[in-house]
């Protein structure tokens, strides 16, 4: 498989390293900055270099494109590649808004090329373990999750609305949002209530957010997003599941199962708690290790080879964008926003 890269920033270097680790062919790179493109190309042995995705596509010889550019470029670059029959893995957030995300999904459906959204936590061993264990918790009543940078935040285009669309909610909160949705079995969102603002830095995007999402299965998710926060109760994508029969959490990863005592033990406490520890290291040496991205890209490649719709695909990315849009609207209006 011949893979091209749009963008030369930190995360695309991680994706390119994943391709090298998997033995794939790194074919072309797209960036408007010649020096950045040269550094990226030299590091990964990529000789084909272009200023635009359209120019690269005209030359052909590319099977898949990884889009990790500023958010405002996600939709046009992805749609151009899909229309050319090139499969795409696009970084989160999928687009600037849900309208763009819908256009991307339509382009994939019409072309037959595959579209995957890089919601990386779906490939994390801890997350996969908790998803497997979650059936033991009974009906999940609520979840709590975190997408927060403590004493740190990004700079550059991330903090500019015209390029990013949104701030910490779109950048970090979406990790917590997608992880909760994945653990719940990808239910559709019904409504959103949010309080989002900018307090810690002079940005025209948000650095703080609290979001409540109601899902079609009756579960409510509470999500915190933020940059430059003084504290967070958990690292990126840390999630807690509160079920009728138990409790589960990520980072540290474990479950607590409520066990009813037999009738013969009447007079004692009605219940006992069985704790199952996942056995994963916490805190990790690296919270977002390279292996996470290797697994993600490997899955994308297998989907392309098998002509199988990926999950997270365009639909998963679109559902997340609908929640993000609704969160910003709710915070602006002070009202609960219903999602169609």
| Nearest residue to 4 via CA among 86, 84, 109 | 86
pLDDT digits (tens, 9 = 90+) for 252-307: 999 999 877 655 555 556 667 899 999 999 999 999 999 999 999 999 999 999 99
How many angstroms separate the Cα of 190 from the Cα of each of 10, 12, 217, 223? Answer: 35, 33, 9, 15
Within-domain flag for 104: yes
Q: Is residue 28 part of a domain?
A: yes
Structure token digits, residue 171: 């950048």
**283 and 138 in a common domain:** yes
What percentage of the chain exceeds 70 in pLDDT? 96
Q: What is the pLDDT of residues 186-225, one digit of tens each?
A: 999 999 999 999 999 999 999 999 999 999 999 999 999 9
Shared-domain flag, residues 80 and 187? no
Same domain, 189 and 221: yes
Count of structural domains within the chain: 2
- Domain membership flag for residue 310: no
> Of 91, 118, 145, which residue is a domain's last?
118
Q: What's 251's domain CATH number?
A: 3.30.360.10
244 in the same domain as 281: yes
Same domain, 145 and 89: no
Segment 6-59, tens digit of pLDDT: 999 999 999 999 999 999 999 999 999 999 999 999 999 999 999 999 999 999
Give the pLDDT confidence of 121-168 residue by residue, as tens digits. Answer: 999 999 999 999 999 999 999 999 999 999 999 999 999 999 999 999
| Full residue range of the structural domain in which residue 57 is found | 2-118
pLDDT above 90: percentage of residues in the chain: 94
136, 278: one domain: yes
* Boundary-marking domain end, from 118, 136, 170: 118
**Cα–Cα distance measured from residue 301 to residue 240, given in angstroms and rounded to the nearest whole number:** 31
Are residues 93 and 113 part of one domain? yes
Residue keyed to tokens 């701030």: 167
Same-domain pairing of 58 and 177: no
| Mean pLDDT along residues 82-108 | 98
**pLDDT at residue 259, as a whole number:** 79
Q: Is the pLDDT of residue 226 over 90?
A: yes
Last residue of a domain, one of 68, 86, 118: 118
Q: What is the pTM of this model?
A: 0.94
Q: Are residues 168 and 258 in the same domain?
A: yes
Give the pLDDT of residue 268: 57
């Amino acid at each position: 498989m011949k893979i091209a890269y749009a963008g030369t920033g930190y995360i695309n270097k991680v994706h390119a390293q994943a391709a090298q680790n998997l033995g794939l062919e790194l074919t072309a790179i797209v960036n408007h900055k010649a020096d950045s493109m040269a550094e990226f190309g030299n590091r990964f042995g990529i000789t084909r270099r272009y200023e635009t995705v359209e120019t690269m596509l005209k030359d052909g010889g590319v099977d898949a494109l990884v889009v990790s550019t500023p958010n405002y470029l996600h939709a046009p670059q992805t749609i151009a590649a899909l229309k050319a029959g090139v499969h795409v893995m696009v970084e989160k957030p999928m687009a600037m808004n849900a309208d763009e995300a819908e256009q991307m999904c339509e382009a994939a459906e019409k072309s037959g090329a595959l579209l995957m959204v890089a919601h990386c936590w779906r490939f994390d061993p801890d997350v996969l373990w908790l998803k497997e264990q979650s059936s033991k918790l009974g009906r999940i009543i609520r979840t709590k999750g975190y997408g927060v940078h403590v004493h740190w935040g990004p700079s550059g285009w991330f903090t500019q609305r015209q390029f990013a669309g949104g701030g910490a909610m779109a950048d970090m909160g979406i990790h917590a949002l997608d992880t909760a949705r994945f653990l719940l079995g990808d239910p559709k969102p019904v409504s959103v209530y949010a309080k989002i603002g900018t307090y810690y830095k002079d940005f025209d995007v948000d650095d703080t957010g609290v979001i409540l999402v109601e899902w079609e299965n009756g579960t409510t998710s509470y999500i915190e997003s933020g940059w430059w926060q003084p504290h967070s109760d958990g690292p990126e994508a840390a999630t807690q599941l509160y079920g009728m029969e138990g409790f589960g959490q990520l980072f540290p990863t474990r479950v607590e199962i409520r066990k009813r005592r037999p009738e013969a033990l009447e007079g004692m406490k009605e219940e006992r708690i069985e704790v199952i520890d996942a056995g994963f290291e916490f805190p990790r040496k690296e919270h977002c290790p390279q292996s996470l991205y290797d697994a993600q890209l490997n899955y994308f490649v297998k989907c392309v080879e098998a002509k199988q719709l990926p999950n997270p695909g365009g639909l998963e990315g679109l559902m997340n964008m609908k929640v993000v849009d609704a969160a910003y609207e709710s915070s602006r209006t002070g009202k609960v926003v219903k999602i169609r």
